[in-house]
């Protein structure tokens, strides 16, 4: 068992594909973590904006949550339809590209890519942030913990979809179970007490009201609360990862995720009001998370409290996994259309799109390192991308139904149209209300990424046109090349090179670069060791060319000579033989100059199509 096998698992055959598929249960933990974990920060984000309204703000949380739940339901129905219409994986990219055209597809892809990278970084750092505020002694190690979690998520994902599902099932169900338990207990207590339950641990008192209610404030609270909806598109993007019957499995997973999310959001909004729990100012001394207050109020600060809060932290940190499940699949789809490097469409040893996983890891690590593991400032950047993708996906489905027609098309079009309008409105609200705080970065990045993707496709098309060959093999005009053999001293390496050169062609030029101290030595050696035996064998001797190098450069005179040879023989191929020492141990490479590599790189970069490089290796036994 090699190290590779231990870290990443045995390679899987292409035909092992079926065994790696997910059922609804595994799908929930692979694709649902992000959506479900957002129940842990969406309500809090909304309530934080309502702090100035005090008790009135908490009361407004119910209608705001209701709007979010309605929006979520619309998006859910719409994505159910998308899954059915695109069983091969219907992310926003595919749907938008097929129905609204290439630009719309690329817009959705760019928006989603940014969103996934941000989700992964913010998820990990939020989880670690919560952990660190619970155990302040870990604070100096924030970044290191973030990076370790990132690496673990990367490794699990590289091992394949099925193992990822298995690893994440326990935290997911622990999170859902404890949180639903809390909500059920709170609901029961509220009903039993006629709507006025007594908290076990009283939440901190609310601040006095400092602002009047305004539409703008409510809109901002709504758009912040909407972060609860990120991650919902994950299932539709990854349909292909599900087990047969594909569509049913994916739909079931989506239904379960949305139902749980709605239950959590509604329950939280209801209990927050019943227990008079408001957000506290993050960054001030008395800060306590909304869910933490809620669990303490409902169930007290016993073992259950710690398990619940612990599982929230864990799921937040692991919510990055949804990005790891979807980002590579998105990149694969975009790469198959030629807008991203082909490597993104290649499945690695465990049948996952390894390159996408690595790229996400690197980008995410870059963000984490740049911000020292505290990525709060990135939060305003990422709802824009998600809702833009929602909108394009819904709009695409409208066009899809119009095109396909049929009985249910009218009804489906209405549902998706409603979704499109709702999410488009949200995009505008979110962009405007968060523009200064950072959404402008997203607004700049999206077109930049689109331009890069379009240039990539143009390059691939040009290359394909350039190397395309419809004609059969042309066998006319075959002619042996001119062969250039750089020779340092007369030794076995030189002899091996010359012998191969003589196999290749009768026109062999041996090139010797002469520095001061060995003036003339080579000519003597050449006449004795090469010209004479060639004359005796009745063969044309290779010709010796001696170039002197006053600046002690060795590589550039060879390069210049080959370039001149190309100019003087415009109709010939030129083969440059590069004798190369191959060391038996890597550390021996420090003991020998790497001129062969440099020469090779320079010749490749500077010479024309007509120059071919031949490496004649000498494997040292020493």
Residues 11 to 30 in contact with its own copies, rule: CB under 8 A: 11-15
Q: Residue 345 — left, alpha, or beta (φ > 0 → left; ψ -120 to 50 → alpha)?
A: alpha
272: enclosing H helix or E strand:
helix 246-274
Name the one range near its own copies by CB under 8 A: 128-136, 416-424, 430-438, 527-535.
527-535
Question: Closest separation between CB of residue 39 and its own copies, Å?
Answer: 39
Question: Closest separation between CB of residue 611 and its own copies, Å?
Answer: 7
Answer for the pair 20, 161: CB distance below 8 angstroms, yes or no: yes
Which of 101/617 has CB closer to its own copies? 617
Question: Closest separation between CB of residue 241 and its own copies, Å?
Answer: 18
Chain mean position to CA 100 = 25
Question: Closest separation between CB of residue 571 and its own copies, Å?
Answer: 14
x/- mask, its own copies, residues 457-486, rule CB under 8 A, reads --xx-xx--xxxx-xxxxx--xxxx-----
Question: How distant, in Å, are the alpha carbons of 237, 386, 402, 419 from that of 397?
Answer: 14, 17, 9, 10
Question: How distant, in Å, are the alpha carbons of 286, 394, 603 from that of 119?
Answer: 27, 22, 45
Question: Closest separation between CB of residue 9 and its own copies, Å?
Answer: 12
- By CB under 8 A, residue 347 contacts its own copies: yes
- Joined together, the tokens standing for residue 384 give 């824009």
Residue 225 buriedness (CB in 10 A; 0-12 / 13-18 / 19+): buried
- Joined together, the tokens standing for residue 233 give 């598109």
Question: Closest separation between CB of residue 565 and its own copies, Å?
Answer: 16
Q: Which of 287, 533, 540, 564 binds its own copies (CB under 8 A)?
A: 533
Question: Closest separation between CB of residue 156 and its own copies, Å?
Answer: 21
> CA–CA separation, 203 vs 96, rounded Å?
46
Q: Which of 196, 377, 411, 499 binds its own copies (CB under 8 A)?
A: 499
Answer for the pair 502, 543: CB distance below 8 angstroms, yes or no: no
CA angle (251, 253, 256) in 5-degree steps: 105
Question: Closest separation between CB of residue 181 and its own copies, Å?
Answer: 45
Q: Which of 179, 386, 494, 599 binds its own copies (CB under 8 A)?
A: 494
* Intra-chain end-to-end CA distance of the chain, in Å: 30
Interface of this chain with its own copies, residues 348 to 387, rule: CB under 8 A: 349
x/- mask, its own copies, residues 575-614, rule CB under 8 A, reads x----xxx-----x-xxxx------x---xx-xxx-xxxx
Question: Closest separation between CB of residue 417 and its own copies, Å?
Answer: 38
Interface of this chain with its own copies, residues 541 to 560, rule: CB under 8 A: 550-553
Interface of this chain with its own copies, residues 229 to 268, rule: CB under 8 A: none
Which of 215/475 has CB closer to its own copies? 475
Name the nearest CA neighbour of 315 among 607, 37, 9. 37
> CA–CA separation, 595 vs 555, rounded Å?
7
Interface of this chain with its own copies, residues 506 to 525, rule: CB under 8 A: 515-516
Phi, psi angle pair for 482, to nearest 5° = -75, 135
Residue 492, number of CB atoms within 10 A of its CB: 9
Question: Closest separation between CB of residue 330 and its own copies, Å?
Answer: 18
> CA–CA separation, 36 vs 261, rounded Å?
6
- The set of residues, in sequence order, having a beta carbon less than 8 Å from that of 268 and lying 6+ positions away, is 39, 43, 65, 183, 290, 291, 294
Give the binding-site size for its own copies (rule: CB under 8 A). Answer: 84
Which of 403/458 has CB closer to its own copies? 458
Which of 425/549 has CB closer to its own copies? 549
- By CB under 8 A, residue 567 contacts its own copies: no
- The set of residues, in sequence order, having a beta carbon less than 8 Å from that of 448 and lying 6+ positions away, is none
Interface of this chain with its own copies, residues 75 to 94, rule: CB under 8 A: none
Q: Which of 270, 304, 435, 500 binds its own copies (CB under 8 A)?
A: 500
Question: Closest separation between CB of residue 70 and its own copies, Å?
Answer: 44
- By CB under 8 A, residue 503 contacts its own copies: yes
- By CB under 8 A, residue 456 contacts its own copies: yes
- What is the torsional sign of CA 53, 59, 65, 67? negative
Residue 479 buriedness (CB in 10 A; 0-12 / 13-18 / 19+): exposed
Which of 256/508 has CB closer to its own copies? 508
Which of 448/604 has CB closer to its own copies? 604
Which of 146/616 has CB closer to its own copies? 616
- Full DSSP string of 67-102: HHHHHHHHHHHHHHHHHHH-TT---HHHHHHHHH-H
- By CB under 8 A, residue 207 contacts its own copies: no
Question: Closest separation between CB of residue 568 and its own copies, Å?
Answer: 20
Which of 193/615 has CB closer to its own copies? 615
């Amino acid at each position: 068992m090699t190290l590779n096998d231990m870290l990443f698992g045995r390679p899987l055959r292409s035909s092992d594909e079926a065994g790696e598929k997910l059922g609804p249960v595994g799908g929930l933990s692979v694709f649902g973590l992000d959506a479900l974990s957002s129940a842990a920060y969406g309500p809090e984000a909304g309530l934080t904006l309502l702090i100035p309204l005090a008790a009135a703000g908490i009361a407004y949380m119910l209608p705001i949550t209701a709007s979010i739940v309605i929006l979520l339901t619309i998006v859910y129905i719409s994505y159910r339809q998308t899954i059915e219409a695109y069983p091969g994986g219907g992310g926003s990219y595919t749907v938008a590209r097929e129905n609204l055209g290439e630009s719309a597809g690329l817009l959705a892809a760019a928006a989603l890519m940014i969103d996934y990278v941000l989700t992964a970084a913010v998820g990990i750092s939020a989880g670690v942030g919560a952990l660190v505020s619970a155990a302040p002694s870990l604070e100096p190690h924030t970044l290191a913990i973030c990076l370790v979690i990132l690496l673990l998520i990367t490794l699990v994902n590289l091992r394949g979809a099925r193992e990822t599902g298995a690893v994440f099932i326990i935290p997911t169900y622990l999170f859902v179970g404890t949180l639903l338990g809390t909500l059920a207990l709170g609901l029961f207590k509220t009903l039993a007490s006629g709507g006025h339950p007594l908290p076990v641990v009283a939440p901190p008192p609310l601040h006095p009201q400092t602002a009047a209610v305004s539409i703008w404030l409510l809109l901002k609270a709504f758009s912040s609360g909407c972060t609860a909806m990120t991650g919902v598109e994950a299932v539709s993007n990854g349909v292909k990862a599900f087990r047969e019957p594909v569509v049913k499995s994916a739909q079931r997973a989506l239904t379960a995720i949305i139902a749980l999310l709605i239950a959590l959001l509604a329950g939280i909004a209801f209990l927050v009001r019943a227990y008079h729990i408001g957000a506290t100012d993050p960054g001030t001394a008395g800060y306590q998370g909304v869910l933490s207050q809620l669990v303490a109020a409902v169930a007290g600060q016993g073992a259950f409290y710690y398990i619940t809060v612990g599982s929230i932290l864990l799921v937040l940190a692991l919510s990055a996994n949804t990005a790891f499940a979807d980002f590579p699949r998105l990149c694969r789809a975009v790469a198959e259309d030629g807008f991203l490097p082909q490597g993104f469409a290649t499945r690695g040893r465990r049948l996952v799109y390894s390159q996408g996983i690595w790229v996400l890891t690197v980008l995410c690590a870059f963000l984490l390192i740049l911000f020292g593991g505290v990525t709060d400032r990135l939060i305003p950047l990422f709802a824009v991308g998600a809702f833009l993708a929602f909108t394009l996906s819904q709009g695409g489905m409208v066009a899809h139904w119009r095109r396909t027609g049929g009985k249910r098309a009218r009804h489906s079009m209405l549902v998706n149209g409603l979704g499109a309008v709702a999410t488009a409105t949200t995009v505008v609200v979110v962009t405007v209300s968060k523009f200064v705080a950072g959404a402008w970065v997203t607004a700049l990045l999206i077109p930049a990424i689109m331009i890069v993707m379009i240039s990539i496709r143009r390059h691939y098309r040009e290359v394909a046109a350039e190397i395309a060959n419809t004609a059969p093999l042309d066998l006319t005009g075959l002619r042996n090349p001119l062969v250039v053999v750089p020779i340092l001293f007369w030794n076995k390496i030189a002899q091996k090179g010359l012998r191969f050169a003589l196999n290749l062609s009768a026109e062999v030029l041996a090139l010797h670069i002469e520095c001061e101290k060995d003036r003339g030595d080579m000519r003597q050696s050449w006449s004795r060791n090469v010209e004479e035996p060639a004359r005796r064998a009745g063969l044309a001797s290779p010709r010796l060319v001696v170039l002197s190098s006053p600046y002690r450069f060795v590589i550039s005179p060879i390069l210049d000579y080959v370039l001149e040879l190309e100019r003087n023989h415009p109709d010939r191929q030129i083969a440059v033989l590069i004798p190369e020492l191959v060391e038996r141990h890597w550390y021996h490479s420090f003991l020998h100059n790497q001129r062969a590599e440099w020469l090779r790189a320079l010749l490749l970069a500077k010479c024309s199509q007509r120059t071919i490089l031949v490496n004649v290796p000498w494997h040292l036994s020493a």
